[in-house]
Amino acid sequence: MRRGRVVYPLVALVIITAMILALPRAQDQLRSRLGKAAAEHGRDVYPSPELVDFWKAFSRALADADPGPDGLHRKLTPPDAPWAAMTADWTPPDVLEVSYEQLSGLQASHAGFVRDMLSSPRLPPLPYEAGSRGIVTSCTSKSLQVLFVTLSMLRRAGSTLPVEVFLEDALDIESSACTRVLPALGARCRHLGAVLDTAPMKSAPASFQIKGFALLCSSFQHALWLDMDDFPLADPEPLFDADVYTHNGLVTWPDFWAVTASRHFYRVAAVARPPPPAGRASTESAQLLLDKARHGATLLLAVYYNEYGLQYYELLSQGARGQGDKETFPAAAIALDLPYYQVEEPASPVGHGWAEGYALDAILQHHPQDDWARHQGRRDPDPAAPAAPAAPAASAGPADPAQPRPLFFHNRGIKADAAQIPQTVFDTKVRMWYSAETMEARFGLDLERAMWDDILETACELRLDFPALRDLPDVCERALGAYDVLFRDDAPEEKAPPTERR
């Protein structure tokens, strides 16, 4: 069998042929739902004048606090520090070369930015819709089909939270994926440039930088950031009413690695008492909870750190694994002496073994309210935070007081992309994650099977809506073939390649 060609079971070919002759009722219902969503999408207006005015003022503050073009260099190998191996007295080695002139310049620009941000009358209030709650994410035109799977998993978990999707290219906003498909899942596409292009910038944000700018430009006061490949295992909306959030206003989750911030960062940020490096793991930033009313300044300072990542990514990670935006939000809260909570339950690796070894495919993160309740007896909550009743428990399996429930499943390895994932299945012939029995016992459903149901929808019913799939006429057949390899005892729902629209 040659690479790229698959011999499919006869039953799958019969199903495809039959479905080409007649569209299924489920597909008709889907098209009707998409049409209604498209009409709603047409009434959306973005950005607001208040947001544009804020950005014009804030961009000037960013430019005025430019620390200069020189990046920071390492004199030694970056630290490799697994969190599980840390001892209470561990301190990361300082591997950066920072001259007195560099340190002085960084200190002056940081202090000037914080001063302008907190006290300057030239900066208007950060605009958002008071009391609003929602999910913020971003993707590119090539990954819209991956985001569709994540949003489908979100709705399968019972969430009705609105979603704002930030895109870099204005042309993507007019695609049928943005005008028809994603609105049907309660998501609105936003062009980040519609805000950022209204004022000069040193360079357009890219990659890790986008998260902070997207949160800044979102309309929600209470925002849950989700990477485009991060599946909620339960409705996340109760988190906004949970004690852990109302007491802190900022919640983060742990990575597998230790904090490796340079001591120079705390000098730059004028932090008198730096937290102990072994006090927490580094941050895995695929998910983040933030209240703009309480942590608006944290958000703005995190954007500053990301705008000047050439210096601050090095100061905060020193080249260690995962270097990027991950530490910018906790660092900003620490610099401003504001409360935040990072989940203490370690992240759990999820992967699969095959002939070539073991592949780490996903990271399992846990329920912050469960974690907070378990540890708050030895914490000193912020006394200024408003009291709130405990949130209704989000269901993702049986609750165990000694073990926080799983809540987020970050599919960081092999993406749920119909253009790529079938070949991985043909090569390995194994599931990526746990067995179906283990999945159902831990999460209440076979998560991998549910993901594949959504992949088939992108490949077979909505291919023409996604730019990355539009020119792949065999993507439905390949996805069905991969599905058969993984779940041959369970026939998929009937799927057919989409017909060209008139």
How far apart CA 121 and CA 129 sit, in angstroms, is 22
Mean pLDDT of the chain: 85
How far apart CA 183 and CA 79 sit, in angstroms, is 44
Give all strands of the β-sheet with 163-167 in edge-to-edge order. Answer: 187-191, 163-167, 129-138, 220-226, 287-291, 250-252, 341-342
How far apart CA 228 and CA 208 sit, in angstroms, is 13
Helix (H) and strand (E) counts in the chain: 19, 15
Tell me, letter by letter, the H, E, C secondary structure of 481-498.
HHHHHHHCCCCCCCCCCC
Q: Which of 441, 443, 419, 422 is nearest to 148 (CA)?
A: 419
Report residue 448 CA to chain centroid gap.
19
What tokens were used for 165?
């999707």
Q: What's the pLDDT score for residue 118?
A: 83
Report residue 366 CA to chain centroid gap.
15
**Considering Cα of 477, then 482, then 485, then 490, what sign does the dihedral take?**
negative
One-letter amino acid at 361 equals D
Residue 49 CB burial class (10 angstroms; 0-12, 13-18, ≥19): exposed
Contact (CB, 8 A) for 415 and 146? yes
Tell me, letter by letter, the H, E, C secondary structure of 388-407.
CCCCCCCCCCCCECCECCEE
pTM of the complete model: 0.87
Place of tokens 């003022």: 57
Facing residues of 213 across strands? none
How far apart CA 372 and CA 89 sit, in angstroms, is 24
Half-sphere exposure of 4 (CA within 13 A, CB side): 1
Question: Do the bridges between strand 287-291 and strand 250-252 make them parallel or antiparallel, or are there none, so unpaired?
Answer: antiparallel
DSSP letter assigned to residue 463: G
How far apart CA 137 and CA 210 sit, in angstroms, is 9
Please give the share of the chain, as a percent, with pLDDT higher than 70.
Answer: 81
Q: What's the pLDDT score for residue 320?
A: 87
Q: What's the pLDDT score for residue 413?
A: 87
Contact (CB, 8 A) for 195 and 51? yes
How far apart CA 46 and CA 67 sit, in angstroms, is 32
The string of pLDDT tens digits covering residues 275-317 is 998 889 999 999 999 999 999 999 999 999 999 999 999 999 9
Buried/exposed 84-109: b ≥16 CB within 10 Å, e otherwise: eebeeeeebebbbebeeebeebbbeb
SS3 251: strand
Place of tokens 């989940």: 343
Contact (CB, 8 A) for 407 and 370? no
Contact (CB, 8 A) for 250 and 341? yes
Place of tokens 């994926």: 177
How far apart CA 196 and CA 213 sit, in angstroms, is 9
How far apart CA 379 and CA 356 sit, in angstroms, is 45
How far apart CA 364 and CA 315 sit, in angstroms, is 28
Per the rule left: phi > 0, alpha: psi between -120 and 50, beta: everything else, 186 is: left
Sequence-separated (6 or more) residues with CB below 8 Å from residue 87:
278
**Considering Cα of 280, then 281, then 283, then 284, what sign does the dihedral take?**
negative
Buried/exposed 130-165: b ≥16 CB within 10 Å, e otherwise: eeebbbbbbbbbebbbbbbbbbbbbbbbebebebbb
Q: What's the pLDDT score for residue 226?
A: 98
Q: Which residues of the chain have pLDDT under 70?
A: 1-44, 120-121, 353-358, 377-401, 489-502
Half-sphere exposure of 132 (CA within 13 A, CB side): 16
Contact (CB, 8 A) for 347 and 84? no
Alpha helices (H) along 344-397: 368-375
